[in-house]
Amino acid sequence: MKKSQIFDQVMDMKKQIGELYEQLGELQGNLGDLLEENNRLKVENHHLRNHLQLVQDEEDASEDQAQTNQSPKKGNPPGEGYDNLARIYEEGFHICNLQFGSPRRDEDCIFCLELLTKKNGS
Positions 84 through 103 that interact with Zn ion (CB under 5 A): 94, 96, 99
List, in order, residues 6 or more apart from 87 with CB less than 8 Å away. 55
Measured between alpha carbons, how far is 109 from 93 in angstroms, rounded to an integer? 10
Q: Min. distance of Cβ 81 from Zn ion in angstroms? A: 17
Instruction: Write out the E strands in 40-104.
Output: none
When asked if residue 111 is in the footprint of Zn ion (CB under 5 A), the reply is: yes
Asked if 109 touches Zn ion (CB under 5 A), the answer is yes
Closest to Zn ion by CB, 63 or 102: 102
Residues placed in the known binding site for Zn(2+): 94, 96, 109, 112
